[in-house]
Structure 1
């Protein structure tokens, strides 16, 4: 239970603060989320990747993200064929079970549960996941309305993409920042995690409609909460991944559905109420599943 009180409970309380605040005051979540994405998140990404050493571990993490994406997309397509789902239902299932909340939720849990040493891995995975979600996620949400090329272009509208690129270039080029610049970036980076956590609570409070399609909900929850971490466990043991990185992979793969997928579902009419339902259920379930996983690891 120590892990629950030291990692899961503090994170959950901050989410609840955001949730209650939104229920009471009805703030403009989009504006606050935009501030987090365009100001705080790039600073967090740059600072942590700039201070990291880009070695084989980061390449392994990148390959794992692609492996998880491909396997979960394939499983969704198999389920869609077996159950005869419509394109919209298949897209909803894809959004809900393939893309996890690696940022608002995953990064804080890794930080509190596995420590500062594991945090750069969480940030790197968050960036990779963001790239995948803003390309493949947008494509599957908007099938018939947007090409994969147009979806990929979305990546280059995200400031975190450039923050990661500059962090890599600055580190490889051994470019040192001035104390003033580094202090400014560090100040913003330090504030990013609590802001992102509060935003997640506000986003959950803003979910309006729920839809209990039990077949899709149950299969998506199973894929997200059971199959995904099991795939991570197999990957870690088959490829003999270093223990700390392996723990990050397993924990991050067990994260609930990314709230951003609901925004995609709303924008492209990919059964948003269904995606919202799965997002809410997996987020609630994760309080238990993550506690168990963190204790096991």
Structure 2
């Protein structure tokens, strides 16, 4: 129970603060998300990746991200055929199981359980997952050719994409960033994680309508919270991944559904109530499943 009180409970408490604030004051979550996405997150991405020493671990994360996405899509398509789900339900299930909350939930859990050494890998996975989610998430939410062009445009609108590219470039050129500039970026970046945590609580509090189709919700919960980490474990064992990278992969694979998938579902009318329900249920269940997982791997 030590890890629950040391890692999980403090993080859930911060989520709870955001949840209560949103219930009491009803703030504009979209505006706060914009501030996070365009100011705080790019600074965190840049400083974390700029300071990182690149090794095989980053390549493993890329391979794993696409492998897990592929497996999630295959499993969902099999279930859709077995249970005869309609197209929108299949897309909703893919949205909530293929895309996990590796950012405002995964990053703090990794930092507080694995340690600061894992931060560059956690940030790298978060950026990569955001790129993948903004492409495939938009595609599956819209499920049409217009979704592809929209997905590409969405990726190039993400400041974190450019922050990651700039971090790679500045690492390679023989010029050091002036201390006042870099210290400012570090200060802004350090505020990104707590802000993302509060924002997740606010996003959950903003869910207004639910649709408890327990057959679909149960399937999504099992896929996201059980099958996904099992796939991650098999991947780690097959490639003999080192302990640090393996811990990062296992934790992100066990994360609940990404809250941003609800926005896609609402915008493209892809069973938004069902997507919201799955996101909420997986987030609540993660309190138990993550506590068990962390006690096993940490």
Alignment of 1:94-105 (within 5 A): 94-105=94-105
TM-score when normalising by structure 2: 0.98
SS at match of 2:212: coil
CA distance in 2, matches of 1:2, 1:243: 21
Q: CA deviation at 1:54?
A: 1.4
TM-score when normalising by structure 1: 0.98
CA distance in 2, matches of 1:193, 1:175: 28
SS at match of 2:176: coil
**Structure 2 counterpart of 1:223:** 223
Greater alpha carbon shift after TM alignment, 189-198 vs 78-87: 78-87
Alignment of 1:200-239 (within 5 A): 200-239=200-239
Alignment of 1:237-256 (within 5 A): 237-256=237-256
Give the unaligned 5+ runs of structure 2: none
Q: CA deviation at 1:145?
A: 6.2
CA distance in 2, matches of 1:212, 1:143: 23
Deviations 1:161-206 (Å, cap 9, x if unpaired)? 0000000111122431100110110011111111000000000000
SS at match of 1:212: coil
Q: CA deviation at 1:144?
A: 2.8
**Structure 1 counterpart of 2:188:** 188
**Structure 2 counterpart of 1:64:** 64
The answer to whether the 8 Å contact 2:138/2:147 transfers is no
Q: CA deviation at 1:86?
A: 1.0
CA distance in 2, matches of 1:43, 1:295: 32
CA distance in 1, matches of 2:272, 2:48: 34
**Structure 2 counterpart of 1:46:** 46
Deviations 1:187-246 (Å, cap 9, x if unpaired)? 111111110000000000000111011121111111000000000000000100011100
**Structure 1 counterpart of 2:78:** 78
Q: CA deviation at 1:148?
A: 2.2
**Structure 2 counterpart of 1:34:** 34
Alignment of 1:114-193 (within 5 A): 114-144=114-144, 146-193=146-193
**What is the number of residues matched between the two proteins?**
297
Give the unaligned 5+ runs of structure 1: none
Q: CA deviation at 1:3?
A: 1.0
Q: CA deviation at 1:153?
A: 2.4
